[in-house]
């Protein structure tokens, strides 16, 4: 609680104490025995005014100011009219006095307002904590000493020092040192990332183990962390349809209820349908319940909480409208390369033929390719050195290799440890009269022959991401009806990826321009919203055309952040289903609040009109509902 | 020039909306935005009269929402 709220609480407590004291005196008949009838009535009128004014003087002042400015229909006005009206009932001598209710309504209104202010403050604070990823200083070396400076002062190309436990303030390249980086605040990924000299570091990550010297490549304001914060903060300005609906609703609702209240207070008694006092009281009850604050605060709060909660998972949503659109997605279209596959070539299969095991085959191929700098040779060597194929202690011993030569367009030949080795495509094998089998895997097949005998093949392809199949399964489980892949790649490659991942449809051999056309055809047949997932490179037009454009692997990629509506910070496709779940949860909370708040209010209005609801219930309908809705909205921040 | 200010004690979303509308209507204000949740006011006005406009905005705020304070 802040200072203002503490003072507020004190005031309410004092007013409450006085209120109950007066109530006790009144009920126990003490007032009646001192002042007699009807003096006791006037005495209690004056006594009830004391807690009323202590608790509500600011509300009355605000109402008065608004009336003078010609802005009548706000909460303080409604409360002032309702409570003053309750006190004024004393003018109807035949009716029960309602001073206690007038004072109590003001008191509980203030209790609710205080609670509301506290809840809003608390959710603001947890959102702020969630987004507390911006470092407030950078270390820079001056005259041999480390000094802390404002990160805004750092120029591009300056060298900053990041100590263990500190956040990287500005994007840059490591020039000295190595460490583990905790990227959880940006990507939601809990496994630390290793960096060393030459590697890029992204601002917002926490340096965990070693001291890093980093040459900055961006200004603080343009660094990843600043851009993310700006994006999330501004996201609440792009309003969802639901939010706009609530704003419009509030605009017509309050005047309508106010006039209805006046009508209820005046019309029936004029027509002789009952006592004035009775109907005026019903009209006042109407007024109390009429404030739309529960909706006006809780709906944007839910969206903001959802956007904040998503950003903690490494999912940046650029506006409430996109969160809303995401919740209605039933078709997800993927670009293949960089999205479902890693976009870099790697060994996806090592198939030895009879005489060798996988490790021996890969070792032989890697040695034969040792002097080639072809990308395919590079991926074979990398796979071998990374321990694929389970060779014990992989290392390329260049002394074993003789007579290495490129067979242009076909492969390589070399003498490895005294054996003559051929590594290359089918044409190379055919040229040497060696029979070779076909492989069931799709990709580039690298056949290997040793001393003129076929020994097996290595398959190189754009590797499918580890969690791609899981991502598709999750999407189907989340109720997405169609997962479709678009690719410029060959039919066979597309078919094999689509089958392996369980995609519902694929469209292969598309030129970049064809992708937009194909997407439009799919858009025509989609019932719900369509999301397109790409890596932000070359697919900006498609990202824009889809209902929701999702860009993946945005750590540092400006193009992706610009073009997309939703940005996944890391490159795991399984985050798409999580994003949809967060969106659906947020929309569920928003809808619950709308139905609950409007429902309760309409119910109390109806009860008030027929005279069943009293003012106590009406106060609950106003502030009670608002507080419950706010508490519900805060759930949107949690994990989906 | 566009500048962002922190708003203190803005407790009600409706009030924030009203204050935003009122600020927009002031002379010299090119654009104004109040973000209720982050408690930030973004004010856009011509460079040469920015300080004068800001004074007017502070005065208006004190009138419309006396609880709310613009921290500058």
- Taking CA atoms, what residue in B is nearest to A239? B35
CATH number for the domain whose boundaries are B2-71: 3.30.70.100
Nearest to A528 by CA among A486, A572, A587: A587
With CB atoms and an 8 Å threshold, state whether B14 touches A250.
Answer: yes
* φ and ψ at residue A215, rounded to 5 degrees: -90, 120
Side-chain half-sphere CA neighbours of A114 within 13 A? 21
Alpha-carbon gap, residue A421 to A412, rounded angstroms: 8
The residue among A126, A300, A319, A597 with the most chain B CBs within 10 A of its CB, best to mutate, is: A300
Q: Which of B6, B7, B11 to mutate to test the interface with A (most CBs of A within 10 A)?
A: B11
Whether residues A247 and B17 touch (CB distance < 8 A) is answered with yes
Using alpha carbons only, give the angle A445, A451, A452 rounded to the nearest 5 degrees: 60
Question: Which ranges constitute the DSSP H helices of A28-69?
Answer: 30-35, 39-68
Residue among A335, A489, A570, A622 flagged as catalytic: A335
Which domains can be identified in chain A, with CATH numbers?
1-133 (no CATH), 138-232 (2.70.150.10), 315-341+465-582 (3.40.50.1000), 344-463 (3.40.1110.10)
Q: Please say if A417 is a catalytic residue.
A: no
Give me the pLDDT at residue A514, please.
84
Check residue A556 and give its pLDDT.
Answer: 55
pLDDT value at residue A558:
67
Quickly count: other Cβ atoms within 10 Å of residue A494's Cβ. 22
- In angstroms, rounded to a whole number, what is the distance separating the alpha carbons of residues A129 and A86? 44
Distance CA A71, CA A368 (A): 85
B36 touches chain A (CB under 8 A): yes
What are the sequence ranges of the domains in chain B?
A: 2-71
C-alpha R_g of chain A: 35
Selecting from A69, A127, A297 the residue whose C-beta is nearest the C-beta of B13 gives A297
* Chain B interface mutation, best of A125, A233, A298, highest count of B Cβ atoms under 10 Å: A233
* CA distance to partner chain A, nearest, from residue B13 (Å): 6
- Nearest CB to B13 within list A62, A69, A296: A296
CA distances from A362 to A368, A370, A377, A386 (A): 10, 12, 11, 11
Residues A74, B14: C-beta atoms closer than 8 Å: yes
Q: Please tell me the predicted confidence (pLDDT) of residue A122.
A: 73
Residue reference for tokens 């399984």: A574
Among B15, B18, B39, beta carbon nearest to A124: B39
Chain B residue at shortest CA distance from A123:
B37
At residue A274, the pLDDT reads: 79
Flag whether residue B5 sits within 8 Å of chain A, measured between CB atoms: no
The shortest C-alpha distance from A210 to chain B (Å) reads 35
Kindly provide the residue ranges of all beta strands, DSSP E only, lying in A505-621, ordered along the sequence. 505-507, 529-534, 548-552, 566-568
B21 Cβ under 8 Å from any chain A Cβ: no
Please give the structure tokens belonging to residue A148: 């802390």
Contact A71/B18, CB-based, under 8 Å? yes
Residue B67, chain A, CB below 8 Å: the answer is yes
Alpha-carbon gap, residue A9 to A168, rounded angstroms: 42
Of B9, B14, B66, the CB nearest to A296: B14
Low-confidence ranges of chain A (pLDDT < 70): 71-73, 94-95, 123, 126-128, 130-131, 188, 236, 389, 391-392, 536-537, 554-560, 639-640
With the C-alpha atoms ordered A334, A336, A339, A340, is the resulting torsion angle positive or negative?
positive
CA of B72 vs chain A CAs: smallest distance (Å): 19
Chain A residues bordering chain B (beta-carbon distance below 8 Å) = 4, 62, 65, 69, 71, 74-75, 113, 116-117, 120, 124, 127, 233, 236-237, 247, 250, 292-293, 296-297, 300-301, 304
Looking at this predicted complex, what is its ipTM? 0.77
Crossing angle, helix A75-88 and helix A39-68, to 10 degrees?
A: 160
Contact A4 B67 (CB under 8 A): yes
Q: Are A592 and A264 in contact (CB under 8 A)?
A: no
Whole-model pTM: value is 0.75
Q: Which of A611, A604, A622, A607 is nearest to A282 (CA)?
A: A611
Q: Is B22 on the interface with A (CB under 8 A)?
A: no
Name the residue among A117, A127, A301 with its Cβ closest to that of B11: A117
Q: Is B13 exposed, middle or buried (0-12, 13-18, 19+ CB in 10 A)?
A: buried
Identify all chain B residues contacting A634, using CB atoms and an 8 Å cutoff. Answer: none
Question: In terms of residues, how long is chain B?
Answer: 72
Predicted pLDDT of residue A475? 94
B interface mutation test: which of A297, A309, A320, A623 has the most B CBs within 10 A? A297
3-state secondary structure at position A487: coil
Per this entry, what is the length of chain A? 640
């Amino acid at each position: 609680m802040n200072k203002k709220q503490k003072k507020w609480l004190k005031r309410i407590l004092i007013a409450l104490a006085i209120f109950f004291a007066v109530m006790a005196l009144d009920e126990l008949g003490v007032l009646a025995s001192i002042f007699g009838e009807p003096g006791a009535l006037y005495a209690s009128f004056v006594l009830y005014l004391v807690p009323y004014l202590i608790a509500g003087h600011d509300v009355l002042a605000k109402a008065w100011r608004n009336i003078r400015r010609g802005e009548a229909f706000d909460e303080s006005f409604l409360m002032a009219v309702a409570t003053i009206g309750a006190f004024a009932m004393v003018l109807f001598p035949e009716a029960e006095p309602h001073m206690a209710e007038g004072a109590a309504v003001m008191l509980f209104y203030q209790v609710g307002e205080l609670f509301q202010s506290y809840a809003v403050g608390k959710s603001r604070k947890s959102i702020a904590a969630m987004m507390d990823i911006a470092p407030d200083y950078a270390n820079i070396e001056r005259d041999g000493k480390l000094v802390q400076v404002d990160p805004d002062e750092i120029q591009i190309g300056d060298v900053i020092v990041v100590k263990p436990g500190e956040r990287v303030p500005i994007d840059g390249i490591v020039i000295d040192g190595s460490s583990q980086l905790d990227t959880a605040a940006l990507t939601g990924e809990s496994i630390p990332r290793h960096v060393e000299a030459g590697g890029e570091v992204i601002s917002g990550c926490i340096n965990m183990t070693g001291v890093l010297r980093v040459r900055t490549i961006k200004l603080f304001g343009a660094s990843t962390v600043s851009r993310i914060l700006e994006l999330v903060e501004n996201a609440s300005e792009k309003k969802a349809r639901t939010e706009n609906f609530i704003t419009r609703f509030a605009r017509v609702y309050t005047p309508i209820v106010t006039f209805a209240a006046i009508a209820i207070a005046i019309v029936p008694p004029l027509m002789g349908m009952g006592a004035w006092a009775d109907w005026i009281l019903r009209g006042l009850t109407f007024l109390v319940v009429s404030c739309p604050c529960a909706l006006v605060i809780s709906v944007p709060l839910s969206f903001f909480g959802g956007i904040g909660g998503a950003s903690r998972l490494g999912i940046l949503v650029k506006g409430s409208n996109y969160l809303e659109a995401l919740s209605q997605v039933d078709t997800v279209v993927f670009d293949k390369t960089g999205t479902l596959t890693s976009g870099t070539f790697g060994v996806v299969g090592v198939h030895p033929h009879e005489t060798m095991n996988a490790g021996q085959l890969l070792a032989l191929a890697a040695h034969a390719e040792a002097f080639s700098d072809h990308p395919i040779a590079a991926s074979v060597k990398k796979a071998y050195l990374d321990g694929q194929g389970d060779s014990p202690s992989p290392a390329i011993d260049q002394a074993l290799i003789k007579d290495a030569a490129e067979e242009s367009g076909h492969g390589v030949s070399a003498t490895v440890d005294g054996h003559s080795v051929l590594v290359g495509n089918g044409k190379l094998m055919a040229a040497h009269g060696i029979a070779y089998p076909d492989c069931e895997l799709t990709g580039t097949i690298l056949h290997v022959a040793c001393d003129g005998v076929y020994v097996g093949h290595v398959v190189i392809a754009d590797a499918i991401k580890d969690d791609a199949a899981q991502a598709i399964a999750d999407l189907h489980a989340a109720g997405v009806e169609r997962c479709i892949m678009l690719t410029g790649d060959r039919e066979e490659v597309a078919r094999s990826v689509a089958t392996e991942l369980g995609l519902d449809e694929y469209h292969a051999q598309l030129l970049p321009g064809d992708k937009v056309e194909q997407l439009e055809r799919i858009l025509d047949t989609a019932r719900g919203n369509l999301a397109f997932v790409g890596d932000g490179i070359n697919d900006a037009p498609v990202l824009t055309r889809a209902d929701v454009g999702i860009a993946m692997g945005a750590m540092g990629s400006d193009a992706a952040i610009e073009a997309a509506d939703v940005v996944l910070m890391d490159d795991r496709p399984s985050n798409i289903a999580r994003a949809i779940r967060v969106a659906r949860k947020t929309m569920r909370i928003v809808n619950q609040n709308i139905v609950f708040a409007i429902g309760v209010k309409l119910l109390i209005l109806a009860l008030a009109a027929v005279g069943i609801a009293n003012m106590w219930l009406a106060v609950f309908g106003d502030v009670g509902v608002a507080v419950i809705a706010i508490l519900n909205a805060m759930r949107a921040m949690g994990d989906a | 020039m566009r500048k962002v200010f922190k708003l203190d004690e803005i407790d009600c979303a409706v009030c924030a909306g009203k204050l935003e509308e009122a600020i927009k209507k002031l002379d010299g204000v090119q654009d104004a935005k109040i973000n209720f949740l982050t408690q930030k006011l973004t004010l856009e006005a011509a460079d040469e009269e920015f300080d004068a406009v800001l004074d007017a905005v502070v005065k208006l705020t004190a009138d419309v929402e006396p609880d709310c304070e613009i921290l500058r």
